[in-house]
Structure 1
Amino acid sequence: MKTIVHKANTRGDANHGWLKSKHTFSFANYYNPERMGFGALRVINDDHVEGGKGFGTHPHRDMEITSIPTSGKLVHKDTIGTNGIIESGEIQVMSAGTGIAHSEMNGNADEPVKFFQIWVMPNKQGVEPRYQQLKIADMLKPNEFGQILSPHPDDAGVWIHQDAWFHMGNLDKGVSAGYELKGNQHGVYAFIIEGKVKIGDEVLETRDGMGIIDTKGFDVEALEDSRVLLMEVPM
């Protein structure tokens, strides 16, 4: 098993007043040639948007964009007719395909919304734009990794145009949960949403990330109550 660790305090930092964002990989004004993504995984942004503020309408093309709120309400509007609110415990995916424009606004005037925005490069270009939103909180069982995203429309969770699988685990202190990879030429990027875990010989804490390749599987040991997102993508 080979790994690369990205500690939380090494991420790119953007502070626009209304928006505070941490970038695991190069994004916007943050550029690091050694942080251009992990396989098909291109962006992990840890966003904090102040009350009443947000991202005005802007375009995307040929990218699979996933949002996972951790607190507050995120209001989404797009050019294919979607108009909805995403909250903690839910996941949203947008296939930009041939082109889509959307806005993301804080649904509350007086408290921030916090969410992860994750971009995965698609395995096919020029698809019809689409939107999907799903409540995942009820799908997750304690102390195991539950699937929240896959390449298959009829499988658990949301789906995208890529051979990728996302799993989330809420692990109690002292629990060890295993993960088996789906693809031979795949890697997994483990992102610690909160808590403290051990993978191999490495201890990871809140907002740390670790890319894992050259293995068929691994265990995640919770040293504290923890919430972990595993993102398996082609390398």
Structure 2
Amino acid sequence: MKTFLHRAGKCGMNDKSSFVRHDDNHCEQSVLGALCLLKETEIEPLGSCELQPHRDVGIVTFVTHGLLEHKDSDGSRGVSRAGQMQYVTAGNNIRLLDHNPSAVEKTKVLQLWIIPRQKGFMPRYEQRNCDMDRLNRWALIISGNGRKNSLRIEQDITVRVSHLFMGHTLVSDPIQTGYGRLLFVLDGEVNACGHTLKRRDELHVIGDEAFEITANRDAHLFLIDVPMSDFE
């Protein structure tokens, strides 16, 4: 098993991806399979962020604080609040606008950009709750087939979340051959694979062995399994 630790301060998570070389609008090169971007962003009150992907891409946005209004050039729109997520499939040159409708609160989001199984899919917008019971266990919230009432996306990625209390341990479970794994700490502190991860740190794991994750402090975690073979 190989591990690669990316510290939040060194990754520049607020303004660029730790996975790829890219400009502000689109991915250019994937280095963790089908997951080409992981980014945490803050939007000021009444502020907006316009994105214009230059390739087919699926975008999952988790609202972690405040409100997020989505609009795109295909006519989809919706407002998500903290504890919800939205999924947008964007073809070439579609324009996306994320807006904070609050005049008081900042909006905070965690965003995943995902290369789909194939190009040329139909545009899609879907909004879901993601505040599932996840105390000291994994809850599956995203998959490629929608199992266990998870959000179905156009790629064989799985995303699990957990709120792990201090002193508790979770096991990652074995991973399917041909997949990579990413552990992202939204907040708190954990130990995994001999590393200590704090807020916004991420650990890339290549290998099919299971590993343990122990919380030094209460922590919110994302565990993402990513197909690698078609994107190496």
Q: Work out whether the TM-score is over 0.5.
A: yes
Q: After superposition, where does 1:66-215 map in structure 2 within 5 Å? A: 66-97=60-91, 100-137=94-131, 139-153=132-146, 155-215=148-208
Q: What's the CA shift for 1:110?
A: 2.3
Q: CA RMSD, aligned part only?
A: 2.2
More contact order relative to length (CA 8 Å, sep ≥ 6): 2
Q: Partner amino acid for 1:45?
A: K
Q: TM-score, normalised by structure 2?
A: 0.88
CA distance in 2, matches of 1:106, 1:187: 34
Q: What runs of 5+ residues in structure 2 fail to find an aligned partner?
A: none
CA contact (8 A) 1:136 1:157 kept: no
Match status 1:6 vs 2:1: no
Q: Which has the higher strand share?
A: 1
Q: How many residues align?
A: 225
Q: 1:234 to 1:140 in 2, by over 3 A?
A: same
SS at match of 2:46: coil
- Percent identical among aligned pairs is 29
- TM-score of the two chains, using structure 1 as the length reference: 0.87
Distance of aligned partners of 1:36 and 1:62 in 2 relative to their CA distance in 1, 3 Å threshold: closer
* 2:33 corresponds to: 39
Q: Secondary structure at the match of 2:9?
A: helix
Shift in CA distance, 36/126, structure 1 to aligned 2, threshold 3 Å: closer
1:230 pairs with 2:228? no
5+ long unaligned stretches in structure 1 = 14-19
Residue identity matched to 2:71: K
